[in-house]
């Protein structure tokens, strides 16, 4: 199971889940995992208030086993394509703070990590379209989107600094969110 997890990072609305599902269909012997679903599984039974008062360390104690268990459950696939986050906005006492949701415990399983990015205007259009289709509300401020993307990219570069020297990381900038192009590019890198 070591090194068979290929991780897609990026902010909400950049298309990580869509890309992961398309990659799993295109790349033989692959399985797509949703980091959001794993987060919900890890925090099942906790209401918003209970989540708000948990420390980042307490959250990691719940998150790490959920992720590692999912990796084990899909170990028969040659490649696990995980779409997830490094940093997520969390409401604490009425204000928004950014919390890291990535653990060093996952690193031995990672084959490659990709940061998927796009222009803030395109992400906003996608978020609005998603909201109209599903009711899923996300930040709709261009400046917040830009800042969130910059913070996540910086954390990605810091987190995977040791990988960068071995060509195991890539930043995929797709200004117009042409997901087919992104899928084709990443599929060529992990196949």
Domain boundaries, the chain: 5-190
Q: 15 is written with which tokens?
A: 């298309």
Q: Where do we find the tokens 């084709």? A: 184
Confidence of residue 165 (pLDDT cuts 50, 70, 90): low
**Mean pLDDT (the chain, rounded):** 85
Q: 90 is written with which tokens?
A: 């969390």
What are phi and psi for residue 138, nearest 5 degrees?
-135, 165
**The model's pTM:** 0.86
- Would you say residue 120 has pLDDT above 80? yes
Q: Distance between CA 186 and CA 65 in Å, rounded? A: 28
CATH superfamily of 5-190: P-loop containing nucleotide triphosphate hydrolases (3.40.50.300)
pLDDT tens-place string over residues 29-67: 999 999 988 888 888 888 777 777 788 888 889 899 999
């Amino acid at each position: 199971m070591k090194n068979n997890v290929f991780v897609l990072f990026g902010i909400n609305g950049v298309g990580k889940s869509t890309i992961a599902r398309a990659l799993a269909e295109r790349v033989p012997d692959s399985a797509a995992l949703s980091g959001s679903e794993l987060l919900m599984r890890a925090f099942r039974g906790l209401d918003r208030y209970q989540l708000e008062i948990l420390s980042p360390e307490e959250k990691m104690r719940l998150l790490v086993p959920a992720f590692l268990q999912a990796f084990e459950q899909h170990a028969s696939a040659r490649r696990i394509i995980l779409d997830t986050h490094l940093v997520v906005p969390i409401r604490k006492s009425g204000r928004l703070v950014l919390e890291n949701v990535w653990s060093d415990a996952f690193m031995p399983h990672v084959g490659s990590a990709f940061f998927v990015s796009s222009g803030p205007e395109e992400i906003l259009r996608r978020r609005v379209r998603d909201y109209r289709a599903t009711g899923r509300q996300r930040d709709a401020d261009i400046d917040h989107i830009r800042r969130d993307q910059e913070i996540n990219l910086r954390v990605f570069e810091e987190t995977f600094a040791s990988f960068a020297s071995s060509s195991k990381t890539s930043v995929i900038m797709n200004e117009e969110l042409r997901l087919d192009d992104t899928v084709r590019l990443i599929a060529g890198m992990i196949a």
